[in-house]
Amino acid sequence: MNAVWHPECFRCRACNQPISDYEFSTSGHYPYHKACYKESYHPKCDVCKHFIPTNPAGLIEYRAHPFWVQKYCPAHEIDNTPRCGSCERMEARDTRYVPLDDGRKLCLECLDSAVMDTSECQPLYLDIQEFYEGLNMKLEQQVPLLLVERQALNEARGGERNGHYHMPETRGLCLSEEQTISKISRRPRFGAGHQAAELITEPYKLTRRCEVTAILILYGLPRLLTGSILAHEMMHAWLRLKGYRPLSQDVEEGICQVLAHMWLEAELMSGSGGNAASTSSSSSSRASKKGSRSPFESKLGGFFLHQLETDMSPVYGDGFRAGQQAVQKYGLRSTLEHIRMTGLFPY
């Protein structure tokens, strides 16, 4: 910037107005008003919409979600800013998330495809049963599926003698014990201010007729997340009903995560017009019945795949990656047979 300028020619690159201030900013070879430079280059918080402040060292410091790349001030991690209970995005100041009665909040995009009660989940259950049949893994026994509140899920978890639970929050369970469960029989109605009301529950007595008494899924999750959890829990049921020996947590949870991942991939491929016939012969026909998927729901499905693939827990994350590697190398059928014989993944 050592050139000589006519005063009226020394103009801001952003607003094209002359720069008469003593101080100005530059980017490349272009001059800017300091305020214009800040507006153009200083990042804004996606939550509070303000410029992200500098830290004590004078550097711009912010956080960003690894998938959504939502950037925000570090202060929002400790100021009780809500996150969506499904997609994990923080609630921006110009939006309002919908509160559920168990303390969770949902963004409006996740709410749009949320599965809210037991009857609403039955078509999805049939879809995933078809998916398993397409893999020649039909469940011979009819296992009840119930959508439940968080409290009922936690109480059922406490009633199981043996079980594996995904921490910090369990969203699904495959039950083996006889219990009475409070199922959601009618979805909540959302009134003014998106407040949930008139959620109806009723007791449901589980009777043990086989190794599995029921599958429970947390209500209020988007369809793709509900489906991936259901595919996971159905794999637990399949292993028990087929007489597999008790497996180590990383092997059992790992192969269940593999099936959840396979179902999600098949759903996203069928929804985008891809051919998922190699995974399930009925995926394309199911997609045509459901109609096209919204761009956000497709992006949300990618996020759920990302969660499965990047889970850092030794049981669910490492177990999934070991199972995925085995299935990719030997195929699902050979992997399952090896697990039956040895209790381990093939290597």
Model confidence pLDDT, tens digit, residues 243-297? 998 999 999 999 999 999 999 999 999 865 444 434 444 443 444 345 578 899 9
- Look over the chain and give the mean of its residue pLDDT values, rounded to a whole number: 84
Q: How many CB atoms lie within 10 A of CB 218?
A: 25
DSSP 74-130: GGGGTTT--B-TTT--B--TT--PEEPTTS-EE-HHHHHTEE-SHHHHHHHHHHHHH
Together in a domain, 180 and 303: yes
Closest CA to 31 of 50, 9, 52: 9
Is residue 91 predicted with pLDDT exceeding 80? Answer: yes
179 and 278 in a common domain: yes
Do 150 and 5 lie in a common domain?
no
In a domain, 78, yes or no: no
Same domain, 36 and 180: no
Same domain (yes/no): 210, 292: yes
- The DSSP H or E segment spanning 308 is helix 295-310
Residue 135 located in a structural domain:
yes
pLDDT by residue (tens digit) across 130-181?
999 999 999 988 899 999 988 888 887 775 655 555 555 789 999 876 555 5
- At a CB cut-off of 8 Å and minimum separation 6, what does 113 contact? 222, 223, 224, 294, 297, 300
Residue 66: Cβ-neighbour burial (10 angstroms; 0-12, 13-18, 19+)? exposed
Let me know if residue 91 belongs to a domain. no
Contact 334, 313 (CB under 8 A): no
The answer to whether residues 290 and 160 belong to one domain is yes
Q: What is the count of structural domains for the chain?
A: 2
Question: 137 and 243 share a domain?
Answer: yes
Asked if the structure places residue 76 within a domain, the reply is: no
Torsion on CA atoms 292, 287, 319, 220, rounded to nearest 10: 60
Section 39-50 average pLDDT: 88
Q: Could you write out the DSSP letters of every residue in 23-90?
A: --EEETTEEE-HHHHHHHHSPBPTTT-SBPPB-TTS-B--EE-TTT--EE-GGGGTTT--B-TTT--B
Between vectors from CA 124 to CA 118 and to CA 128, what angle results, nearest 5°?
125
pTM of structure: 0.80
Residues paired with 113 in a beta bridge: none
107 within some domain: no
Angle between helices 249-271 and 283-290 (to 10 degrees): 60
Q: Which long-range contacts (CB under 8 A, 24 or more apart) does 269-274 make?
A: 271/297, 271/298, 271/301, 272/298
**Among 10, 25, 41, residue at a domain's last position:** 41
Q: Are 202 and 185 in contact (CB under 8 A)?
A: yes
Q: Give domain status of residue 254, yes or no.
A: yes
Does some domain include residue 106?
no
> Do 207 and 316 lie in a common domain?
yes
Range of the domain at 28: 1-41
Are 134 and 29 contained in the same domain? no
pLDDT score, position 74: 94
Kindly state whether residue 52 falls inside one of the protein's structural domains: no
